[in-house]
A = this chain, B = another copy of it.
Amino acid sequence: MNETIHGMPPTLHDVAREAGVSLATASRSLNGSTRKVNETYRARVLEAAERLGYVANLSAQSIAKGTSSTLALIVSDIADPYFSSIASGVVRDAEQLGLVSTIGITQRDAKRELDIVRTLRGQRPRVVIVAGSRFVDAELDEQLTRELEAIRNLGGRVVMVSQRSLPFDTVQIDNHGGARDLALALVERGYRSFAALTGVSSLMTARDRLAGFRAGLAEHGLELAEERVFESDFTRDGGYDAGGRMLERGIDDIDCVFAVNDVMAVGAMSRLREEGVDVPGRLAIAGFDDIATARDVTPALTTVRLPLEQVGAAAIELATAETDGHAIVTISGEVVVRESTPQRG
């Protein structure tokens, strides 16, 4: 591992010279797929490469081959456990495949997402996984679709992680079904008057979950009045805030609150605790996602478990599979009842 003392990295050229073979032979020995190289030469090349500490320049490879070894992952917020779990699965599997993972963060801003995808084209990524939430905005969807199609035209695979909405392979998360099941489970446990804390209505995920929850309630002839739906950011602080607004309005006619995701639920629980509201004694609460923290808050949070790391794996699988570009893999959640929603008299 004798690095070139000089500033310049050893190139394939150096390796070839060192090994006394041609550039082509060196290339074939080091990276060529179908081995058609004399073992003696091959060994000499490998040895020379080792000695020089040679590592192929990926950029050069990309441009020579016309295809990169990059996987681009787009998430809303990497500090959010929902996305970091997915990212964890994606990056791990990508490494397995020899793909370098790049990451883009949209901060839940549709415009930004578009910008990111646009610059992504410059990377000529082999795979793009868009895990950020979809927005309810036909215009932006249209543009995003065009950008993603452009990437696909360049040979990149595009996989969406979200509800099915854009014409690409997608790992669909059954938000509606999960929320519906949760509603059924809660009614089953004796709850009757609900409130909801939700993200801004332009987020499809928030919408779908709320709609699913309502559908579940409807099956029991219950409904969730608009005035009991508190909209805020799709974050812990958003939940904290929405919880506060709910308290201001008054909770006399509420026995259970559904937060459309766990981080909001957790934020709301903290707010309720601060305001002296007994959870679950006075008010039960449930979330969605089953992030790690759900087990660790007190009371432990009832939620809908989503196999998040598996979602990442599924996305990669889809990206490497032969599909017509419109394949859908649905991941369903499973209701996990914990102490935050005890059986109710």
Contacts and interface: CB of A to CB of B under 8 A. Distances in A.
Interface of A: 1, 3-4, 7-9, 53, 55-60, 62-63, 68, 77-79, 81, 84-85, 87-88, 91-92, 95, 100-105, 118-119, 121-124, 146, 149-150, 153-155, 236, 266-267, 269-270, 273, 292-293, 295-298, 300, 309
Contacts of A79: 81, 84-85, 87-88, 292, 309
A176 to B, nearest CB: 26
Work out how many copies of this chain go into the complex: 2
Nearest to A4: B153
A298 B91 CA distance: 33
Contacts of A309: 79
19 contacts: A8-B154, A55-B118, A59-B123, A63-B63, A78-B78, A78-B84, A78-B91, A88-B105, A91-B103, A92-B105, A95-B105, A100-B123, A101-B102, A101-B104, A236-B292, A267-B296, A270-B300, A293-B293, A293-B296
Nearest to A107: B92
Given A9-B154, A236-B292, 11 more contacts: A53-B150, A56-B122, A57-B63, A59-B60, A59-B124, A78-B88, A81-B81, A95-B104, A270-B296, A273-B298, A298-B298
Nearest to A236: B292
Contacts of A55: 118-119, 121-122
A104 to B, nearest CB: 8
Contact of A57 (B84, B105, B124, B270): B124
What DSSP secondary structure best describes chain A's contact surface?
A: helix
A270 B293 contact: no
Contacts of A124: 9, 57-59
Contacts of A123: 58-59, 100
Given A55-B122, A78-B78, A122-B57, A103 B103 contact: yes
Contact of A103 (B8, B101, B121): B101
B63 A266 contact: no
B297 A7 contact: no
Nearest to A154: B9
A273 B95 CA distance: 38
Contacts of A88: 77-79, 105
A84 B56 CA distance: 30
Contacts of A267: 296
A297 B57 CA distance: 47
A287 to B, nearest CB: 12
Contacts of A293: 266, 293, 296-297
A293 B293 CA distance: 7
A273 B78 CA distance: 30
Contacts of A104: 91, 95, 101
A50 to B, nearest CB: 12
A62 B8 CA distance: 15
Most chain B CB within a 10 A radius of its CB, from A77, A85, A87, A300 = A87
A60 B298 CA distance: 54
A119 B292 CA distance: 32
Nearest to A150: B3
A119 B56 CA distance: 9
Contacts of A1: 146
A296 B266 contact: yes
